[in-house]
Amino acid sequence: MAKFIKSFLLSASMLVAFSANATDQLNNTKWVNFNEDGKPNAVLRFVERGGKLSAKVEKVLINPENKTKCDECKGKYHNKPLVGATLIWDLEPDASNPNVYDNGTGIDPKTGITFSGKAKLEGDTLKLRGYKGVSFLGKTHVLKRL
């Protein structure tokens, strides 16, 4: 019985360690988001809490009028600063592939619309896919690591 318990605890700790490593590769990393014209739009920082990732705006790169608040945004971001806003949350690493993330939620600050999300890490590129209902009908944003 003691041998079984030791074996079980060892297996459980290896599973936890694997899960932590899968999340850690994005934890505390910075990524540049690009607008529809291909210009750098914002810097996002990913952080991990409880095995799930979230991304906050760390810096707005395109701000021609030096605005500090988003007056064009709708919903909870209307007239609020975008710096510090959480745009992606609850992204979970896939247990079978440490470069794939699922079950996330995101928000488009300009429209206030929330969407489901997933991501795939490919070297210094992170492909974020946002969708309503079916992933096939969604849109992919490509982020580059800083």
The pLDDT tens digits for 31-72 are 999 988 899 999 999 999 999 999 999 999 987 677 777 877
Which residue from 33, 39, 27 is spatially nearest to 108, judged by alpha carbons?
A: 33
In this prediction, what percent of the chain has a pLDDT beyond 90? 57
Q: Are 93 and 19 in contact (CB under 8 A)?
A: yes
Angle value at C-alpha 36, between 108 and 60, nearest 5 degrees: 60
Query: pTM here?
Result: 0.78
CATH assignment at residue 64: 2.40.128.520
Range of the domain at 58: 2-145
What is the structure's pLDDT at 23? 46
Per the structure, the count of domains in the chain is 1
pLDDT for residue 126 is more than 70: yes
- The Cβ of residue 62 has, within 10 Å, a number of other Cβ atoms equal to 11
pLDDT band, residue 16 (cuts 50/70/90): very low
